[in-house]
Structure 1
Amino acid sequence: MAAKRWDILQRAYPNQAQVWFGAIDACLQAKDVETAEKIHQLASERFPNNPNTLLHGARIRLAQGEIQLAAELFETARKQHPKILEIWLQSSDCALRKGLYDEAEVFNAKARELVPSHPKPHKQYAEIAMQQQDWHTALKRWAAFRKLFPENPAGYILAAESAEKSGDLKLARKLKLAREYGEELLTDSEEVNIYSFHNRRHRHATLTGLMELIWTKAIFNLRSETQRNYLSYLWWVIEPLLHMIIYFLVFGFLLQRGGEGFITFLLTGLIPWMWFSKAVSNSSNSIITGQGLMLQIAIPSIVFPLVSLVQASLKQIPVFLVLFAFVWLQGYPPGLHWLTLVPVILLQTLLIVMFGCILAALVPFVRDISHIVSTGLTFVMFMSGIFYSYESIPEKWQELFLLNPMAFIIKCYREIFIEGIYPDFSTMGIWAVISIIGCALTLISYKKLRYIFPRVVLS
């Protein structure tokens, strides 16, 4: 099929060299060497001085098993076109086919010298050591490759293969993990030696070991996330502020809602809601996105949603600090009643864990749920009283309205921050009991499904 498409392109663009040589590539990939040779003969007549004429001619000879003829063509190509990277790379591959490892290294060295910033020569350099089964040298070269190209998966996948071949299964697993969580995992520091959590299975049976694993993975994910942004950690505060500005412009300015003190009212509802929304939303697909790691290493499935929840919670810490400062500056000074923020935040944490883990467990079985999570959260947002007080709705509906746990949580925050009173501890206790039972049942479900999740995520 590919060869037919290239034939159409040749007729449409008869003077475009890349079309002809692309057709040769397509034929070689389809192992149709005969057609590739016919196209090459025609291309040689049209483009005799094109470096691809020699390059593809040599590739065809290699496909036909004529290694010596291919080597001669590569030699001619190197003399006529010494600045073409691909010629040196394929010359090195040809030398490897002949078993001439020293010659292959010479050609590869020229390729690395020619374009030092391109990953291909450095990748080939490490692969040469692998072909010689010199695993120690290969691992050194892959380490150098990762320093130059930390985002390239080959530096982890093929390095892990080299480690396995050398018998160092511990390093192989660390390399696979490093692909997910960053090269810091490959250091000798105990602070980042995440392999210890996987290597000692009995640690999984303890709450302490599980918490350390979740904390370490969450920290690495956050580092990786912040390194991709110019403003780094500042986005943790900038993003919620942008949301606040948008909602204030819509509800406070355009719709003329709220009046005096509306910004404080809005923030005391919006910031707790954003914590809940982001944590639950991110955790819902966590098992699906973590399937690669789950299939490589025996790791409890509940780790994935909990890592997402910890990440979202850590990002909220500076945002809450900004909220505390803002409320104080707006004339609502802290007092003893602010101490009740601790149980309110703990209760919200339990609710987040319960809902986040439940959704994460359901999504692998019913993938459609992931498409309605954002819509469902939007509905809950407008039913939680973020932009209006629950007292503004008819009194007969207020009790029903506050059955929404987030509506009740936001009410508690506003009672503490704005009204300066203590929240409803009895209702908080009821929700705490419900959340603890829900979390316990969810944990039991995860244990029973621990061997089913890996099969389901592949379906």
Structure 2
Amino acid sequence: MRLHFLELVWFSTYAELRAERSRSYLGLAWWLVEPALMMAAFWLVFDRILGTGGPGYLPFLLIGLVVWQWLKSSVVHAGQAIWQNLALIHQVRMPVLVFPFVHFLADVIKFGVVFVLLLAVLWLAGYPPNAAYLSLPLLLLCMALCAVGGGLLLAALMPLLPDLRFVVEQLLTVLMFLSGVVFALERVPAPYAEWLAWNPVLMLLDALRGVLLHGRWPDWMALLRVAASALALAAVGVVCVQRLAPRYPKIAV
């Protein structure tokens, strides 16, 4: 059964990527264009106009926007996956977990290509690979687990509450500004920094920038706590989808 599930996810992901390439002229390029446009806007506002960016702000900003694009897309796409496929669920009996995992895996593959390009850009900009790169798999795995957990929770609820898709877009915009995408945690006043430090995305972004820009190893204990929380969130998401799965075929489309 597990092998059948994995085969179904891999085959469906391949089909999804091919379909996306055929129906979109930009395709993967949009994953490069959108962060570049946002980077230019934030750099102009925070660095040129307000003067709060500081040295090295462009690579700092680029890392944050590329990673955030992946996390946001993963949560949104996985979160809408079951709701968008309710008609198919009515016709075919199959594990509903396939739908969010297909979208998540497709986004992981696209992010992998963009992340390699990001590393090349950083290298050309004077930030070569370093020994701390060995921590990248664990950092990216923690981020992936956060995205899986958030996406699965939304995927479980979206068929029952379709209007959530409007709320999620606004919440993700707010979360972006609370996750250190455009600012460094060390520049936040102490009382606020203590509260923001509870945000796992901010902690992971800060650790990733430390690795890529400064060759600094992450705080392993903090990373372990975030990993445990992300794994728990992903497990809760899986349980929620499985518990609500019998209700999806009964929802009118």
Could you say which TM-score interval applies, normalised by the shorter chain?
A: over 0.9
Structure 2 CA distance for aligned equivalents of residues 365 and 278 of structure 1: 21
- CA deviations on 1:155-209 (whole Å, 9 max, x unpaired) are xxxxxxxxxxxxxxxxxxxxxxxxxxxxxxxxxxxxxxxxxxxxxxxxxx31x32
Specify the alignment match of 1:347 in structure 2.
142
Measure, in 2, the Cα distance between the counterparts of 1:233 and 1:330: 23
* Among candidates 19, 36, 43, match of residue 224 of structure 1: 19
State the alpha-carbon separation in 1 of the partners of residues 127 and 28 from structure 2: 28
Bigger drift between 229-238 and 394-403 goes to 229-238
Match of 2:175 among 346, 361, 380: 380
Contact 2:155 2:241 in 1 (8 A): no
Superposed displacement of residue 388, structure 1: 1.1
Could you tell me whether the CA contact under 8 Å between 2:82 and 2:159 is conserved in 1?
yes
Determine if contact 2:136/2:208 at 8 Å carries over to the other structure.
yes
Alignment of 1:256 onto 2:57: no
What is the Cα deviation at residue 445 of structure 1? 2.7
Instruction: Say if 1:297 and 1:376 are closer, same or farther in 2 by CA, change over 3 A.
Output: same
Is contact 1:265–1:414 with CA below 8 Å preserved after alignment? yes
Deviation at 1:240, TM superposition (A): 2.8
Aligned partner of 2:7: which letter? Answer: E
- The CA distance in 1 between the partners of 2:50 and 2:189, in whole Å, is 21
Larger RCO, structures 1/2 (Cα 8 Å, 6+ apart):
2
**1:439 equivalent in alignment to 2:234:** yes
Shift of 1:375: 0.3
Q: What is the alpha-carbon distance in structure 1 between the residues aligned to residue 237 and residue 25 of structure 2?
A: 38
Inter-partner Cα distance in structure 1 for 2:226 and 2:8: 28
Paired residue type of 2:112: I
Once the two structures are TM-superposed, the CA of residue 406 in structure 1 deviates from its matched residue by 0.9
Question: Cα deviations across residues 382-401 of structure 1 (Å, max 9, x unaligned)?
Answer: 00111111111111332321
Query: Unaligned stretches of 5+ in structure 1?
Result: 1-204
SS in 2 for 1:285: helix
Q: TM-score, normalised by structure 2?
A: 0.93
1:316 pairs with 2:108: no
Deviation of 1:236 after TM superposition, in Å, equals 3.6
Identity of aligned residues (%): 32
Q: Indicate how the Cα distance of structure 1 residues 299 and 239 shifts in structure 2: closer, same or farther if over 3 A, else same.
A: same
Name the CA distance, whole Å, in 1 between partners of 2:133 and 2:216. Answer: 9
Note if contact 1:237-1:318 (Cα within 8 Å) is conserved in structure 2: no
Structure 2 gap segments, 5+ residues each: none
Q: What amino acid maps onto 1:396 in structure 2? A: P
Question: Which residue number in structure 1 is paired with residue 213 of structure 2?
Answer: 418
Q: Give, in angstroms, the shift of residue 231 of structure 1.
A: 4.6
* Cα distance in structure 1, aligned partners of 2:233 and 2:224: 14
Q: What amino acid maps onto 2:177 in structure 1? A: F
Say whether residues 1:292 and 2:87 are aligned partners.
Answer: yes
Task: Tell which structure's C-alpha radius of gyration is larger.
Answer: 1
Structure 1 runs (4+) greater than 6 angstroms displaced: none
Tell me the SS of whatever aligns to 1:260. coil
CA shift in 2, pair 1:249/1:434, >3 Å: same
- The worse-fitting range, judged by mean Cα deviation, of 270-279 and 394-403 is 394-403
* 2:71 counterpart residue number: 276
> Residue type matched to 2:70 in 1?
W
Alignment of 1:366 with 2:161, yes or no, is: yes
Q: 1:326-352: CA deviations, max 9, x gaps?
A: 222222221110111110001111111
Alignment of 1:8-47 (within 5 A): none
Aligned to 2:187: 392
Alignment deviations for residues 41-67 of structure 1 (CA, whole Å, 9 cap, x no partner):
xxxxxxxxxxxxxxxxxxxxxxxxxxx
Please give the alpha-carbon distance, in whole angstroms, between the structure 1 residues aligned to 2:52 and 2:60: 11
**What aligned pairs does 1:42-441 form with structure 2 within 5 A after superposition?**
205-206=1-2, 208-441=3-236
For residues 455 and 282 of structure 1, what CA distance do their matches in structure 2 show?
23
Name the amino acid aligned to 2:238: L
User: What is the CA-CA distance between 1:380 and the residue it aligns to?
Assistant: 0.4
What's the Cα RMSD here? 1.7
